[in-house]
Structure 1
Amino acid sequence: MPRRSYDQYCAVARALDAVGDRWTLLIVRELLGGARRYTELHADLPGVSTDMLASRLKDMERDALVTRRRLAPPGAAFVYELTGRGRALLPALTALADWGAPDLGSPRPTDAVRAHWFAVPLMTRIADHFAGGPGVLDVVLDEGTFHLTLDGEAPGYREGPAEHPDARLEMDTATCADLAYDRLSLAQAIAADRIAVTLPDGTADGAHA
C-alpha cells in the first residue's frame, strides 16, 4: 500500500506520517527492550489483531524504524528490532509518558499491566537519582522483572533480570507508578520502606535514600 501522508511541509507532520498510526509507538515501546519475536510482540500488545500488527511492522520496516532478521540456530526464528532511527524515539516516548501521567490513576478493571511498561518513564527518574552510581538495575514487581541500563550512550531496558546487576529494586506496582510518573521520589520511597534496595552481595542498601 502507498504511504499515507499529511502532505504538509512541517516536521511534526513528517514525524506523524511515520509514527502517527495506532499501535506504532507502542511497538516502539516494546522494541526499546530489545529484539522481539512476532509472537512476543503480540502477547505484550493486548488488543492488537494479528493483521494489524503485521501491517504496522511492515510499515515500520518501510520507514526504516525496524529491521527483521533471522536468529542463528537453534532458534532460527525471525525477530524485529529497532534501527538507530527507531531508538531515537526514546525521548519522544518519555515526553509522551510524562504528558499522559496526570490521566493515569488506579488501573481500570479492563487495563492490562506489564512490568516493563514502566521502564521508559522510570529510566529518567532512576538515572537522576543514581547519577554516577549503579549503571545496571534490576526492577522487581509482582508482574515481572526487568532491568535498566543507565550508563553509556545508549540507556535502555531489557525484560528479565540482568546477569550482573549493580543493584536490585523491589517494589509493588503502585509504588513503581508513583515513582515513574514523578509522584514520589526514589529517596522518599526508600525512606518509607516502599522500595527495598539490595546490592550484589545481598546486603540492603540505605545509602541512596
Structure 2
Amino acid sequence: MPRQQQPATRPVRRRSYDQFCATARALDSVGDRWTLLIVRELLGGPRRYTDLHADLPGVSTDVLASRLKDMEQGGLAVRRRLPPPAAASVYELTEHGRGLLPVLTALAGWGAPALAERRPTDAVRAHWFALPLLRALDGLTHQGVVEVGVDEGEFHIRTGGGAVGEDAYGYGPAADPDARLVLGSALCLALGRGELTLAEAVREGRAEVLGEGPLAVELRGGR
C-alpha cells in the first residue's frame, strides 16, 4: 500500500501590524514581550542561555527559547559555539541588534521616573544600571572603560563611543579599566534622570572616581 504523502508544512509567519510605517516595522521585530529585555542583556556581551534565564527573572524557558529563535531569524542575534576548552554555546547581538542601544537608552530615560520607589517584588541586577549611567555620561569626550561599583555589585561601561562591534557595557569588573566609579544605585538613577551631573555628585562626596588618567579627570569634571 503506497505511503500517504504528508502535506508540506508552511513556515510559521510571525504576527505583523501590516502597516507601512517604520515604527510598526520595528515593533514587528522587537515588540513582543521580553524581546527588548533580552537585547538589554546581550548588549553587555555574549551570554549563555542559562545566564540569560538567570538574569531575566520571570521568563519561562519556552518563551525565552522562542524569543531567541525569533531574534536569530530576524537578524538581531546569532548563536555560536565557544572554542575549546569551553563546551557551551552563546548568543550575541549582530550589528543590527546592537543598533538598538540608543533605543534602549532612550527607553530607560523615559521610564526612569517610575523607579522612584523599589517594590518588594522587584528583582535587580547591577548591570541594569548601565543604561541610565550611559545616558548620564553620553557627553564625555575621552574613550575608555569605567569600572562601576554600585550597591548590587559591579559592571563596566565604555565611554566616548568605540569601535564597531564593541560592547557598550559588560558584566562584573573590567580587566583593565581606565577609571573606577563608586556610587549608590539611587544616585545612578538620579544621574540618568538628569537631576545632577557626575561632577556635582563627586564634589558633594556622593560619588568617588578612582584613577589618574584623562578619563578619570574628565569624570571628576576636569578636562
TM-score by length of 1: 0.92
Residue 140 in 1 paired to residue 149 in 2? yes
Larger-Rg structure: 2
- One-letter code of the match for 2:176? H
Separation in structure 2 between the aligned mates of residue 167 and residue 27 of structure 1, nearest angstrom: 28
- Give per-residue Cα distances to partners, 1:19-75, cap 9 Å, x unaligned: 000000000000000000000000110110111100100111110100000101111
SS at structure 2 position matched to 1:103:
helix
Query: Paired residue for 1:103?
Result: 114
1:87 to 86, 98, 106: 98
- Residue 200 (structure 1) shift: 6.2
Structure 1 residues 52, 206: closer, same or farther in 2, change over 3 A? closer
Q: Report matched runs for 1:134-173 at 5 Å.
A: 135-151=144-160, 152-154=162-164, 156-173=168-185
Residue 76 in 1 paired to residue 87 in 2? yes
Give the gaps of 5 or more residues in structure 2: 1-11
1:174 to 169, 172, 186: 186
- Residue 92 (structure 1) shift: 0.8
- Residue 205 (structure 1) shift: 6.5
- Residue 208 (structure 1) shift: 1.8
Structure 1 residues 188, 200: closer, same or farther in 2, change over 3 A? closer
**Percent identical residues:** 60
Q: Report matched runs for 1:1-209 at 5 Å.
A: 1-128=12-139, 130-132=140-142, 135-151=144-160, 152-154=162-164, 156-199=168-211, 208-209=220-221
Separation in structure 2 between the aligned mates of residue 41 and residue 100 of structure 1, nearest angstrom: 22
Separation in structure 2 between the aligned mates of residue 76 and residue 86 of structure 1, nearest angstrom: 25
- Residue 179 (structure 1) shift: 1.4
- Give per-residue Cα distances to partners, 1:98-141, cap 9 Å, x unaligned: 1112222121111111111111221131232x323x51100001
- Give per-residue Cα distances to partners, 1:135-185, cap 9 Å, x unaligned: 110000121111111142446001111111111001111111111222221
Separation in structure 2 between the aligned mates of residue 207 and residue 172 of structure 1, nearest angstrom: 16
Contact 1:190 1:206 in 2 (8 A): no
Give the gaps of 5 or more residues in structure 1: none
Give runs of ≥4 in structure 1 deviating > 3 Å. Answer: 204-207
